Amino acid sequence: MALVTTTEMFKKAYDGGYAIGAFNVNNMEIVQGITEAAGELNSPVILQVSKGARAYANHTYLVKLVEAAVAENPDIPIALHLDHGDSFELCKSCIDGGFTSVMIDASSKPFEENIALTKQVVEYAHAHGAVVEAELGTLAGVEDEVVVEAGKESYTRPEEVEEFVDRTGCDSLAIAIGTSHGAYKFTADQCTRNEKGILVPPPLRFDVLKGCIDKLPGFPIVLHGSSSVPQEFVKMINENGGQMPDAIGIPEDQLREAAKLAVCKINIDSDIRLAMTAVMRQYFNEHPDHFDPRQYLKPARQAVKDMVAHKITNVLGSNGKA
Ligand SMILES: [Zn+2]
């Protein structure tokens, strides 16, 4: 199977009450770890590339790595998506260069400007066989060049979504319901602490999600910033020379609930970064004499695979849905 768009994936996911994982890719080991897990679990998957990933690894290298993954996993649908495109030119360049899906993130702009830019990208994408994710509302947190201070985020306004989708023609919509980018999704002030002293984040705003679903029945919704920051990996990092105090994410059971509703795409990046970093830090501690990159990248790649397999099975519910 060649690279596909997300249209068919989202339709099946919507009707089937599950979501497709969108995992960020930056190098070969990450591409391999994600697609090996998806292949073994017979799950559709979205590989997404940020502007930062493109700057790091180069567009051509990333596209060729993804094409290799498609060749190695011919039985599952794989989409190649631009994460947080910030201009028409960037989106056009990715579509021209083989991506099947792009996000235009004009969510920081006023409503009318967001509509105008999104519409321009949609017209180009649809004329070239690609699909478009847009965004309304603003997430807090840090993702590559997107930085929004905690407290400066704004939830999506359900009363705006119908007009936005009608006027832009976008294929899916990312909304803000309390997820956040990065490994420090909430400040301690925003959280409570459980009996073990671990931070408990504020719950996702399912009322906002349901408000959006009421206005857009059948339309695929996207959640960004949906890593859960597993505490076992934070602990492993901190026990092996790292310093990540109070890193915190979105509880997986809440994401599972969202996946059963209209949420068809859930973005996960930080959890892969954490798993790789934890395993590599531990490896370096335990093997101070090793210096062959294959020695530590092999368990790091396995950690990516295990993390993605866990997400597909226990959070997204997309196993067996290829
Ligand atoms: Zn994002």
Q: In this predicted model, what pLDDT tens digit does every residue of 31-71 receive, in sequence order? A: 999 999 999 999 999 999 999 999 999 999 999 999 999 99
Would you say residue 145 has pLDDT above 70? no
User: Where is pLDDT greater, at 149 or 208?
Assistant: 208
**What integer is the mean pLDDT of 209-213?**
98
Region of poorest pLDDT, from 29-33, 132-136, 138-142, 218-222:
138-142
Query: Which pTM does this prediction carry?
Result: 0.96
Taking Cα atoms as reference points, which of 188, 183, 278 lies closest to residue 225? 183
The residues placing their C-beta within 5 Å of ligand 1, an ion, are 224
Region of poorest pLDDT, from 26-30, 57-61, 106-110, 243-247:
243-247
**What integer is the mean pLDDT of 182-202?**
87
pLDDT at position 21, please? 98
Instruction: Kindly give the distance from the C-alpha atom of residue 292 to the centroid of ligand 1, in angstroms, as a whole number.
Output: 34
pLDDT above 70 coverage of the chain, percent = 98
Taking Cα atoms as reference points, which of 280, 271, 265, 269 lies closest to residue 307? 271
pLDDT above 90 coverage of the chain, percent = 87
Confirm whether 96 is a catalytic residue.
Answer: no
3-state secondary structure the chain: CCCCCCHHHHHHHHHHCCCEEEEECCCHHHHHHHHHHHHHCCCCEEEEEEHHHHHHHCHHHHHHHHHHHHHHCCCCCEEEEEEEECCHHHHHHHHHCCCCEEEECCCCCCHHHHHHHHHHHHHHHHHCCCEEEEEECECEEEECCEEECCCCCECCCHHHHHHHHHHHCCCEEEECCCCEECCECCCHHHCEECCCCCEECCCCCHHHHHHHHHHCCCCCEEECCCCCCCHHHHHHHHHCCCCCCCCECCCHHHHHHHHHCCEEEEEECHHHHHHHHHHHHHHHHHCCCCCCHHHHHHHHHHHHHHHHHHHHHHHHCCCCCC
pLDDT at position 150, please? 67
Kindly indicate the confidence band of residue 246, based on its pLDDT and cuts at 50, 70 and 90.
Answer: confident
Instruction: Kindly give the distance from the C-alpha atom of residue 135 to the centroid of ligand 1, in angstroms, as a whole number.
Output: 9
pLDDT at position 147, please? 73
**What integer is the mean pLDDT of 18-25?**
98
Catalytic site residue from 15, 75, 83, 105: 83
Instruction: Kindly give the distance from the C-alpha atom of residue 150 to the centroid of ligand 1, in angstroms, as a whole number.
Output: 15
Instruction: Kindly give the distance from the C-alpha atom of residue 313 to the centroid of ligand 1, in angstroms, as a whole number.
Output: 22
Q: Which domains does the chain have, with CATH numbers?
A: 7-316 (3.20.20.70)
Instruction: Kindly give the distance from the C-alpha atom of residue 283 to the centroid of ligand 1, in angstroms, as a whole number.
Output: 30
